[in-house]
Chain A
């Protein structure tokens, strides 16, 4: 089980649903059809998890950067939304 070190310093268990939801929401924000958004979110989550499988603790920044890197390949516009939504919040 991976743990995420949040910006405030506390730790949370990694929850893939959160990552999936943020990718999915970013896709919908740029009018990607629902089916395609689900597909992209599935792929991005899987690729991020593959990259991070040998790590136990990560920062939320690590997850964000890796997610953005893979997300960009599938949909640069949605990835842009993801990046800036993350930055604002």
Chain B
């Protein structure tokens, strides 16, 4: 190691300052290593600047607006309820500011991490180029995240569309929006815009919204979108062509079966997924990758032994909590002989729509594909006390177990699903049986009672 210290500029260079890189930087700096971090954009990466934090802040504002509109039925008088969308954006900015990303550079520098602004590109296995400078390191962690996937839709390149990055910074609410993509990002923005009063159309090529989750989650969300928000849900739909009209509006042509229909909207939001940001000269470093991710083993090591990868660029899930977890593992394994391995069996997945959708472990679809025998039980949330007192009746808890009752997966649609799911994540992590949760007393009246009820139905 002593020789390496003289040979290279740094012990570790981290490409990317998001969740996939940040934790490892803390770990390595804590071990006294000489660390540099290369970041072309805002410190903190996707989640605090353009992803989870701003969207959750906007969803919260939308929820407050809805509560204010509905206050009358609870005896609360609010004379006029109106939206100033530029101030909604200011609230979002405050939430982003409070994450501390604006002071991120100083925080890392206080740890002794050298922050380098720019886009890193491997020139060889131990050297990266950033602008006009080059830096060498004994080891690397690639945490470059993702880039937006823009689908090959005719006319889209000639049309002014927005992605989630622009959508979070709108200061004026569009009258109408066509969302291309019914995954988590598309659904959350559909919910935000529709709650504030935009007319929303959402198109998904798969048969149901939230295609990575079980069909019933997507179908429930579609019915809530249609009934509560008057969203035009277009599943099994391919956007064929878009045109920008003279007044700036956009005409979207979409294909459902053999039928081609069209709709005119003020704004198009492209939310058709993300792709791993692998355009960083990985070939020059001997790192194997696919267009979807960098190939890593369970220790987060790539095909080049001194290069690790973590976060969205490594997959298999693109979540901040996943990236932090992987980054911690990579940070340890980069400098220790005894390696720790990642375990993905209980990674919670949440979509913060109304009602919230959360799931963990295997889906029914995955078990069917793997020809694994399973039992399932579900309970609607309207049977529990909390649904009555909060006047929220839409949702369910579904539990999937092995034939011996060990919990393999679960999905929840309920107002606090993102909180409720962790009980089931814990159960999956430690191979608990449904009957153990069923035998545990849950407080009345809580949403989590629905978890106990669903587990009690497994026989």
A residues lining the B interface (CB < 8 Å): 5, 51, 54-59, 61-62, 65
Contacts and interface: CB of A to CB of B under 8 A. Distances in A.
B119 A57 contact: no
Nearest to A65: B283
B119 A62 contact: no
Main secondary structure of the interface of A (DSSP, over half): mixed
Nearest to A66: B279
B283 A57 contact: no
Contacts of A59: 123-124, 281, 284
Contact of A54 (B119, B123, B124): B119
Nearest to B128: A57
A61 B283 contact: yes
Nearest to B127: A5
Nearest to A55: B121
Contacts of A62: 121, 281, 283-284
Contacts of B121: 55, 57-58, 62
Contacts of A57: 121, 123, 129, 132, 134
B55 to A, nearest CB: 26
B450 to A, nearest CB: 49
B131 interface: yes
A62 B434 CA distance: 53
A58 B132 CA distance: 11
Given A57-B121, A57-B134, 18 more contacts: A5-B129, A51-B279, A56-B129, A56-B131, A56-B132, A57-B129, A57-B132, A58-B121, A58-B129, A58-B281, A59-B123, A59-B124, A59-B284, A61-B283, A62-B121, A62-B281, A62-B283, A62-B284
B127 to A, nearest CB: 9
A56 B129 CA distance: 8
Contact of B284 (A51, A56, A61): A61
26 contacts: A5-B123, A5-B129, A51-B279, A54-B119, A55-B119, A55-B121, A55-B129, A56-B131, A56-B132, A57-B121, A57-B123, A57-B129, A57-B132, A57-B134, A58-B121, A58-B129, A58-B281, A59-B123, A59-B124, A59-B281, A61-B283, A61-B284, A62-B121, A62-B281, A62-B284, A65-B283
A55 B121 CA distance: 8
Nearest to B123: A5
Contacts, number: 29
Contacts of A65: 283
Q: Give 4 nearest A-B pairs by CB, closest first.
A: A57-B129, A59-B284, A56-B131, A5-B123
Contacts of B279: 51
B49 to A, nearest CB: 19
Contacts of A56: 129, 131-132
Interface string B53-97: 000000000000000000000000000000000000000000000
Nearest to A62: B281
A65 B278 CA distance: 14
Interface in B106-134: 119, 121, 123-124, 129, 131-132, 134
A8 B2 CA distance: 28
A57 to B, nearest CB: 4
A25 to B, nearest CB: 24
A65 B289 CA distance: 14
A55 B124 CA distance: 15
B34 to A, nearest CB: 23
Nearest to A64: B283
A5 B129 CA distance: 10
Contacts of B131: 56
A62 to B, nearest CB: 6
Nearest to A5: B123
A54 B279 CA distance: 11
Nearest to B118: A56
A51 B279 CA distance: 9
A5 B285 CA distance: 14
B250 to A, nearest CB: 24
B267 to A, nearest CB: 26
A33 B340 CA distance: 59
Nearest to B279: A51
Contacts of A58: 121, 129, 281
Contacts of B123: 5, 57, 59
A6 to B, nearest CB: 11
B120 to A, nearest CB: 10
Interface string B250-292: 0000000000000000000000000000010101100000000
B90 to A, nearest CB: 31
A61 B285 CA distance: 11
A57 B123 CA distance: 8
A56 B132 CA distance: 6
A65 B281 CA distance: 10
Nearest to B280: A55
B132 to A, nearest CB: 6
